[in-house]
Amino acid sequence: MIIEPKIRGFICTTAHPVGCAWSVQEQIDYVCQHGKIAGGPRKVLVVGASTGYGLASRVVAAFGCGAGTIGVFFEKEAEPRRTASAGWYNAVAFERKAQQAGLYARSFNGDAFSDEIKQKVVEAIRKDLGQVDLILYSLASPRRQHPRTGQISKSVLKPIGNIYTGRSLDVTTDTLEPVTLPAATPDEIEQTVSVMGGEDWEYWIDALEKENLLAPGVRTVAYSYVGPEITRSIYRDGTIGKAKDHLEATARKLDERLRKYGGGRALVSVNKALVTQSSSAIPVIPLYFVLLNKVMKEKRVYEDCIAQIYRLFATRLYAGGPIPVDDKGLVRMDDLEMREDVQSAVCRNWEKLNDRNLAQIADLKGYHEEFLKLFGFGVNGVNYNVDVDPDQKLLSASS
Ligand code: NAD
C-alpha cells in the first residue's frame, strides 16, 4: 500500500509505518549522541508511551539509562484499507529497536484508566521486573470512563468565568481566524479534571503500592504546562489548567506517601509547549506555537520532545543531588520558553500579528513539518513511493 497523509483539520487520519520508525530512530540517535545518563532508572513504567512526551520518556529511559520499559497506550491497529495510528507504529518500532539493543520492552494497548489494564501491568511488573523505580505519567486523553462509577467524562478546552474572544490559526489555510469560546460550566470543569487531573495517576500508584511493586527510591513524574500571559485565559486559567492544578496537588500528596520508599519522590515537570497530537487540538495554542518556535529557533534555544526529556533526566531527575524545583515544588523544563527575552519577542509579534505578516513572523513551515512528522510523513530518508505493509505487529503483543 502507498500511504499518503490525509489531513482533516488538526488531525491526520493516516500514518506511515516506515516514517514513524525513522522518527523513533532519530530520537534514539539523539539520546545515543548525548551519552548515557549515569544513575538513571532501571525498571520503568510509562503511561501514555506511544507519542509525544511519553514516547520521548520511554526512549530516554531505555536508550539513555539502559532501563527495561513497560509502555501503556491507547492506539489503533491497522484494519483492511486503514493504517494503524502513528502511536501504534511508534510502539512497534520502539520495541524492535529495544529488542535489538538487548533491552526489555513490553507494551499494553488499552485504556489506562481501567482497572483491567492496571491489573495486567501489575502482573507483568511482578513477573518480569519485580518492581519499578520510575513511573512516568504522560496521558493526554479526550475522555475517561471512571473505573469505580462507570461514569464517562469528557475534557473540554474552555475558559472559566468569561467568554474568550481572540484569534486562532486556521492550519488548513494558514490564516488568522476569529475565535469565540464560551465559558465552561461547572460540570464541564469537573469532567475535565476527572480526565486530565491526578486521580488516575494516584490510582496507578495505589495499584503498584498494594502489590509492593515500588522499588526503594522510586520516582514518579507527571507532565504539566503553565505558559505565558497570552494563553492564560484559555490554558492555565481555563478548564485544562484546573485539571493541571489537580495533577500538581496530587503530586504533593503522592510525594509525602513515597518518601517512605527510601526517599521516593512524586513530581510534576512543567514542560515546554510543543506540537503533539493533543496540543494541536487546543484552541489558540497552535498560533502561540508558531510565534514561539520562530523566536526560539532564531535564538537557538528551540527543543523538541526528545531534547526536553533528555535534559529532564540528565540535568534534573538524575543529575545527582536534590532535584531542582521552583517555589511551588515544580520541576521547570519550560525555562527556555519562559525566558524574558523569548517571551517579550513573542508578545511583540503577537501584538503586531496580521494575515500579511503571519508567514514572516510565524514558523508556519516548521509547524506543518512537525505536524506531518507526528504521523511519519516528511521524514528525511524515507521513500514514500514504495509499497509498505500497514499491518505491523507489536513484538510483545500484549494488547
Ligand atoms: P500525546 O497526544 O502525544 O500523547 C498522549 C499519550 O496518551 C499517547 O501515548 C496515547 O496513546 C495515550 N493515551 C491517551 N488516552 C489513553 C488511554 N485512555 N489509555 C492509555 N493511553 C492513552 O500528548 P502529549 O502532548 O505528549 O501530552 C502528554 C502530557 O504532557 C500531557 O499531560 C500534557 O498535558 C503534557 N504536556 C504537553 C505539552 C505540549 O505542548 N504538548 C506541554 C507540556 C505538558
Please state the pTM of the whole predicted model. 0.97
Q: Determine if ligand 1 sits within 6 Å of the CB of residue 367.
A: no
Ligand 1: which of 53, 85, 113, 267 to mutate, judged by most atoms within 8 Å of the beta carbon?
53
Q: Determine if ligand 1 sits within 6 Å of the CB of residue 109.
A: no
pLDDT confidence of residue 399: 45
Q: What is the mean pLDDT of the segment spanning 51-63?
A: 98
- Per-residue model confidence as pLDDT tens digits over 237-274: 999 999 999 999 999 999 999 999 999 999 999 999 99
**Which amino acids are annotated catalytic?**
235
**Cα distance between residue 352 and residue 363, in whole Å:** 15
Walk me through the domains of the chain, giving residue ranges and CATH numbers. Answer: 10-146+193-282+302-335+371-398 (3.40.50.720)
Å from CA of 194 to ligand 1 middle:
15
Å from CA of 196 to ligand 1 middle:
10
pLDDT confidence of residue 283: 78
Residue 218: which of 136, 160, 285 has the closest Cα? Answer: 136
Q: Determine if ligand 1 sits within 6 Å of the CB of residue 113.
A: yes
The residue with greater pLDDT, 316 or 81, is 316
- Inter-residue contact 288 to 229 (CB < 8 Å): no
pLDDT classification of 10: cutoffs 50, 70, 90: confident
Place of cell 468565568: 161
Q: What is the mean pLDDT of the segment spanning 357-363?
A: 95
Q: What is the mean pLDDT of the segment spanning 331-348?
A: 98
Q: What is the mean pLDDT of the segment spanning 316-326?
A: 96
Distance linking the first and last C-alpha atoms of the chain: 25
Å from CA of 188 to ligand 1 middle:
20
Q: Determine if ligand 1 sits within 6 Å of the CB of residue 85.
A: no
pLDDT classification of 281: cutoffs 50, 70, 90: confident
The residue with greater pLDDT, 388 or 281, is 388
**Cα distance between residue 85 and residue 307, in whole Å:** 24
**Cα distance between residue 259 and residue 109, in whole Å:** 31
